[in-house]
Structure formats: C-alpha cells, structure tokens
Amino acid sequence: MITLKVPLGNRTDLREWYNRVHNGYEKVLYQMQRELSDILAEGDIHPTIKYRVKTLESLYEKAQRRVKSDDFSGDSFCVTDFIGIRIVCPFIEDIRHCEQIIDSTFDVVEREQKGAEYGFQEFGYESVHYLVKVPKHLCEVFNFGGSEICEIQLRTILQDAWAEVEHELVYKAEFTPFDEPLRRKLAALNANLSLSDIVFQEIRDYQRQLHVQLKRRRRSFWATVQEATSGDPGSFAARETKAEKQKDDTAFSRASDVPEEIATSMIPGGDSVDNLLLRALNAHNRRSFDEAVTLYTRILETDSRSAVRAVIHIHRGMALFASGDYDEALSDFTRAVEQDASNPKAYYYRGIVHRVRGDRTAALRDFDDCLSRDPFQFDPLLSRSQLHFAMGDREQALADCDAAISLHPHSSRAGELRARIIEGMNL
C-alpha cells in the first residue's frame, strides 16, 4: 500500500519516485509469492500464481480517476493494490481451500467478494479479493515498514479469462454498453462461464467420489479373496500400511467435502449411467450386494456400448463374487472378456475366480493374458506370484513379486510374500 499526495504534481517527479521504490517492492513480492506457493503445495494445491507491481501508467491513471471522483476529499489517498498476487485455480473448490490457507497464514485486513452484487441478468467481474499485511520477516529483510499491504486475488481459470477480456473491452476502453441486446449477450457469456465453473466442479466431485468408492471396493475384494483362499499356501493376510490407510482416509474426507446441492443432485434419484454406477458402488461397499447387482443390471439394460458393458460386467462380477456366487461371477467376467478383449482387468478377475475354485491352470492362463495386455499392474503381478508360489515355482514367483515391488516399493503385502518366497527357497 502506498499513499499519494494531492495534487499529484508532475509525472517526472512521480516517475523518479516510482523508479526508486519499484525494485524493492518487486523483490518482496517475489519472495512473498514463493512462500505462498510452498504453503499451498503443502495442502496439495498447485494453482497458477501471478504477481505484479502496478505499472507507473496504471498508477497514474488510477490516481487521476480517484481525484476526479465525486466522493473524493482530502489531500491524500491510499492505493491498496500497488503490489498484488493473483492465484488462478482450475476449480471452485480450490478457491475455498486457498481462502482457508490465506486466512490462517496472513494478517488479513480486508476480504471482499467481487461480483456478489450482480443479479443473474447482469454481467460483471467476479473474484475474491484479500488485503493482507506483508509478513514481518519479509519487511525486515527488505527494509520495509511494518504496515505494507498486498492485495491477493483468487479466481478460477474461467473467472480470470472473463476478467482479462472485460478489462480490455469495458474497463480500459471506458465503455459501458447501453444497447440492451449487447448487454444481454455479455450477461449470457458471463453466465455460461459461471455455469461451466459449476459443472467442472461437479464432474471433479463425481470423479473423486468414484475414485474413493472404487478404492474401497478393491480393498473389500482383496479381503474376500484372502478369506476364500485362506487354505492356499500362496495366500496371506491382507494388511495396509499406516500411510496407505491415511492416504485413503484423506481422499475420502475430500470426497465428503462436497456442497449438499451438488452431492444430492449426483447420487440419489438420478438415472444416468454415472449416477447409477456411483449408487451401485455405494451399495457394493456397504455389502448390499443384491442392491448393487440390481443397479449394475440396470446400467447393462440401458447402455449398449461394448467398452461400458465390459466394465459393468466386471463390477457386477465382483459383487457376485463377494456374495459367494462364484458361478455367476465367472460368467460375468467371461462376458466382459467377450465385450472387450483388450481389457486386462476382465482376465485378471476371471483368473481370481478360477483360483478360488481351485483351477490353477485356468487361473494362470488368465493372469498371463492380463499381463500380456499390460505388464505394469501391481495386483495381477502379485496374484500371479502367489499362484506360482502355491504351485511350487518359486523362481517365477520371486520374479513376479519383485516386479510388483518395483511398482509399489512400500507394499506390506508384497514385502510379506517376498519374505515367504525367500524362506521357501532356503529350505
């Protein structure tokens, strides 16, 4: 923040003052945005961060407008946005997380929601603006007073795009559109961008919820496999490291942090394939297998695309497997192979059923087919390693186990299996 005296004086004097202070402000601002970037990264937020010291021309024009305004009085005025940082995020949710971090990191002087005053038929600039004090340690390093103020702007990518274009068309050109059709066009453009932000956030929330449900289903599936193969010499108790579980819990907490109006529109009541799939996975993870199978079947009745049907047959097969219906599970996984022969997971899960049923030859054939389509898969490598170990082929078991560990070095399951293989080799 700087204070300018009125009258402004000639531009030469203003330029000399500006040249004296510019580099100092540039340095403190650079360091401030670096520290802010590091703090945001610790919260797993990686936005685009821009920073700038206001140009002399922009400063002079702003000063002229301020002095000429009807509500100005006095012999000086403050420019609070002389130095500024802009944080541009892909999603609305990121803005909320950034706000929390700014509130807890800086001494906030003021917070303003720009654009909140506009109605749905109006167009205008939208952004969250903070005025914060420059941290004391930076003021000391760069010999600034303790009352320096920096403006921090928070926008989505689309809000930033609108602001840049509006600045060129309206603000810099000092143009106010009075033509009603033109105003409506601008309002419609702004509304489309706002709606796009909301839709992008909904898609992201859906993807996150889907990811968490899939991860939970995978853990449940492994537990079922271990229970079903408890007498198999290649089996072992599935365990998670503390870090693995904490990562999953963190993902779940983020997925749960969804605005109610978005969450309710995505899960209950909707009959789209996406909504049905999420509801089916929820039922699956609650061990409501009959409900899950019914929902998966509804998807199969409404979507004829082979790739989609293959994935849903896999999901339904896993639910049937978890409920103990191995015959129907095997049938679903076979249908998945028929619908999409390039999908490695179809072979993998069918191999699991063969293994549980005691058909090791068929299981090994499916694991081989799976890994021939994608050799860099942790679970299939580990499962084939277990199978080789159970069949007495310890060298191949060790090779597969080492390949799995190369993909996930900290896996407790793989580490335990490797120890058992080595122990067996030394007998």
Find all residues with CB under 8 Å of 369, minimum gap 6, and list them. 344, 347
List where CATH 3.30.460.10 sits in the chain.
2-176
Average pLDDT across the chain, whole number: 82
Q: Give ranges for CATH 1.25.40.10 in the chain.
A: 198-374
Per-residue pLDDT at 249 exceeds 80: no
- Confidence (pLDDT) at 124: 52
Quick check: 12 pLDDT over 80? yes
Q: Provide the sign of the torsion angle of the four alpha carbons 265, 271, 277, 280, taken in this order.
A: positive
- Rounded to a whole number of angstroms, the CA Rg of the chain reads 30
The residue ranking higher by pLDDT, 328 or 174, is 328
pLDDT digits (tens, 9 = 90+) for 92-128: 999 999 999 999 999 999 999 876 555 544 445 578 9
Structure confidence at residue 178 as a pLDDT band (50, 70, 90)? low
pTM for the predicted model, two decimal places: 0.63
pLDDT at position 354? 96
Neighbours of 389 (CB within 10 A): 24
Q: Which letter, b or e, does each residue of 309-342 get, where b requires 16 or more Cβ atoms within 10 Å of its Cβ? A: bbbbbbbbbbbbbbbebbebbbbbbebbbebbee
Residues 346 and 351: their CA atoms lie apart, in Å, by 9
Query: What pLDDT, on a 0 to 100 scale, did the predictor assign at position 114?
Result: 78
pLDDT-derived band at 238, boundaries 50, 70, 90: very low
Residue 252 has pLDDT above 50, yes or no: no
- Residues 267-291: what's their mean pLDDT? 81
Its CATH class, for the domain covering 2-176, is alpha beta
Nearest by Cα to 131 from 84, 90, 95: 84
CATH architecture of 198-374: Alpha Horseshoe (1.25)
The confidence score (pLDDT) of residue 184 equals: 76
In 3D space, the residue among 56, 48, 49, 62 whose CA is nearest the CA of residue 25 turns out to be 56
Taking only the tens place, the pLDDT of each residue in 358-417 is 999 999 999 999 999 999 999 999 999 999 999 999 999 999 999 999 999 999 989 999
Amino acid in the structure at residue 160: D
Position 200 scores a pLDDT of: 86
pLDDT of 334 reads: 97
